[in-house]
Structure 1
Amino acid sequence: MIERKQNPEQKGRTILRNILITVGIMGAATIVCLALQHFSEADTHVPLLFVLAVVIVARFTEGYVYGILSAMAAVVLVNYVFTYPYFELNFSITGYPLTFVVMLATAVMVSALTTQIKWQEQIRLEVEKEKTRANLLRAVSHDIRTPLTSIQASASGILDNYDALGRQEKVELLEGIRDESRWLIRMVENLLSITRINGDRAQLQTTWEVVEEVVGGAVGKFQKQFAQIEVETSMPEEVVMAPMDGILVEQVLVNLMENSAIHGKTTTKIRISVQKLPERVLFCVEDNGKGIDPAILPIIFEGQLSTGDHAASDGKRSMGIGLSVCMSIIQAHQGDMKAENMAAHRGARIQFWLPCQEENWMEEA
């Protein structure tokens, strides 16, 4: 059994939510029964509606307490409001104990089934999480081994043949070490990003960021490594702000541009555009490379692409790991991401969006 731990603030919100659900549903049932009295003199529908209300409360609240409390409240309401003499409690009515027991048993059974379903769902999510983590570690271990071997071989070649190697050969080996080291640093940054959003079920600490500044920071980092590739940006005329972890979203944009540069093969230009849509901000990264193999599009964000797949790899770097990190970051922001090829073989397009309630921004401003 997996128990979800909540901090005091989360626990308080959960209790308040359960109370509001219970009061709202029982109040709604009372109002409906009162309304139906104007259309029918019979009151046989009243117990049935309150049993339904108890079932709904038990289904949509956590634990047994609220379902049991709603069952007790239902019995009292039926007795006090809908049983003659009205608006008086009368516990001597024939069948009253049986009604109470039936409603209480219904609440307990539904609450137990609902709690069990929620626990099973939590276990399933944990299993999926561990499976994804295992796949990521397998992919990372393969991807890291190759550049480390290359660095070791280049360093050994320089040390063992220092006098025999010419200056240009030494420079080429050192440049290889530098490039492989940079790639390893980016890989470690991706792994740290995954740890940051998954560790101890931590909630992201988001703040309202100016989107143009986040995009500009990502472009600056990217062009330090890929100065030969042109990057064009398209922003709305008005200032756009969105709640996000700016460091992580910047990492997403850097990863997407690096994938375009490395795996696009023929990429010479990347375009980043931002659109402000109702209740969300849409980011789009397009390139003029060779596009993405349609066969891997359905699994491109799962982090399971083989480095032997020519369409997904440059022989030593897996596209899937970086994109898996991107998807994890965006989903942690309650957003989503999709990849597609543009028409007429004009390259690949990856879009993601972040939720943005403009009124919340105005309140905080």
Structure 2
Amino acid sequence: MRSGKCMKRWFLFSWGDLGICVVTLLCAAMVCMLLSPSSSNDGFACPIFVLAVLLISRLTDGYLFGLVASVVGVIAVNYAFTYPYGKINFTISGYPVTFLSFLAISLVTSALTTQIKQQERLRAENEKEKTRANLLRSVSHDIRTPLTSIVGSTSAILENPNISRQKQEELLNDVRNEAQWLIRIVENLLSVTRIGENGRAQITKREEAAEEVVGEAMRKFRKRFPDVEVSVQVPHELLMVPMDAILIEQVLSNLTENSVRHGKTTTRIEVSVQRDGKLARFCVRDNGCGIPLEQLGSLFDGTLKSSETASGDGKRDMGLGLTVCTTIVRAHGGFIDAKNLPGGGAEFSFCLPLSEEEDE
């Protein structure tokens, strides 16, 4: 079984790799033809074709085209760039060594390149699995907590028919709030699903007015948190940003909601967007209690643990929301950061490229 896999690795073929091999060898031949009139000896051609073999081995999969390039290179150097020109003569002193050198370079470079590519694929798969595991852990916690509260409140109403009207309303309000929280979790999961496994393929970006996206996110925020003061700062000139407006609105919603839920004493939120060189910088500041220092280093890596109350009931943590924010921002080619403010409170900011070229 292992020998079969090795044989497949040796003879991997694709038309793209064939094109790379042909073009690279032709370029090497053209360079040698340009240099031959100005060279007093024939030794200049060997290093050029060695370099071509290295490039082909690096840019193609498997060993096939590296081997082909080494054989073609030896023949080309012998036939076209070694005296007597236009004839193949392998009896020339040193040519067996040259041929073996080409083969050795091809085999070693192809083997190392294949191994590096395999390691890169494994690393990418490990990152995907790590992200899935972190999301599953966050989702499991964030769903379990509101469901437990909903079951407890509804059971209290059903099992206590003589409960007061006021108490019923309090319990039903709790049920509604927890149901709204579950809806937010589902929205986050749908956002991650839209991005896809490769992180970028399903992002459809259009030029959007940043102030309109911020305004829509804040309109929804005010409906959920009417007691929190909100101020918005936007540039005087219209700032158009390539983005998926729905996903960036999701990021702003997550950050502002986290500011209220985890700021504990948050009564005011400031949201701003401005041009920062070739980037658009979005900031969410609050006057809450700030971010615990032990959490600053792990806010965006998906490893943030759920905190626990004195009674052992898990609080809603920031894990899922910030993981979604990080995934969305990176899918746009941007980056996200957080810090505590000197006068108290916290600031979350993320930057998006102002042009598609910056995202490449």
Could you say whether these structures have the same fold, taking a TM-score greater than 0.5 normalized by the shorter chain as the test? yes
Deviations 1:254-294 (A, max 9, x none): 10111111111121222222223444322222222111111
CA distance in 1, matches of 2:216, 2:28: 52
Q: Which amino acid aligns with 1:27?
A: C
- TM-score of the pair, normalised by structure 2: 0.81
Residue equivalent to 2:305: 306
Residues 21, 65 of structure 2: 8 Å contact kept: no
**Aligned 1:49-88 pairs, distance under 5 A:** 49-64=48-63, 66-68=65-67, 70-71=69-70, 74-75=73-74, 78-79=77-78, 82-84=81-83, 88=85
Deviations 1:25-76 (A, max 9, x none): 97379649956985x7444354134313421332244444554454355445
Residue equivalent to 1:184: 182
Deviation of 1:82 (Å): 3.7
**Aligned 1:72-221 pairs, distance under 5 A:** 74-75=73-74, 78-79=77-78, 82-84=81-83, 88-93=85-90, 94=92, 96=95, 99-100=98-99, 102-162=101-161, 164-199=162-197, 203-210=201-208, 211-221=210-220
CA distance in 2, matches of 1:296, 1:309: 14
Residues 339, 347 of structure 2: 8 Å contact kept: yes
Residues 222, 257 of structure 1: 8 Å contact kept: yes
CA distance in 1, matches of 2:129, 2:248: 24
Change (3 A) 1:84 1:239: farther
Deviations 1:186-207 (A, max 9, x none): 1111122222223487712322
| Identical amino acids, percent of aligned pairs | 49
Change (3 A) 1:201 1:219: closer
Change (3 A) 1:201 1:139: closer
Change (3 A) 1:192 1:25: farther
CA distance in 2, matches of 1:225, 1:20: 57
Structure 2, unaligned runs of 5 or more: 3-13
- TM-score of the pair, normalised by structure 1: 0.80
Residues 68, 108 of structure 1: 8 Å contact kept: yes
Deviations 1:114-146 (A, max 9, x none): 122211221122123212312321232122212
Deviation of 1:317 (Å): 0.3
**Aligned 1:9-88 pairs, distance under 5 A:** 15=16, 19=19, 23=23, 27=27, 31=31, 38=38, 41-64=40-63, 66-68=65-67, 70-71=69-70, 74-75=73-74, 78-79=77-78, 82-84=81-83, 88=85
Deviations 1:211-262 (A, max 9, x none): 2222222112222211222222222233222332222111111101111111
CA distance in 2, matches of 1:219, 1:299: 27
CA distance in 2, matches of 1:217, 1:29: 61
Q: Which amino acid aligns with 1:178?
A: R
CA distance in 1, matches of 2:109, 2:356: 40
Deviation of 1:326 (Å): 0.8
Change (3 A) 1:184 1:73: same
RMSD: 3.4
CA distance in 1, matches of 2:322, 2:244: 18
Q: Which amino acid aligns with 1:146?
A: T
Structure 1, unaligned runs of 5 or more: 2-11, 361-365
**Aligned 1:238-317 pairs, distance under 5 A:** 238-308=237-307, 315-317=314-316
CA distance in 2, matches of 1:281, 1:149: 41
**Partner-residue secondary structure (3-state), 1:205:** coil
Instruction: Count matched residues.
Output: 341
Q: Which amino acid aligns with 1:167?
A: R
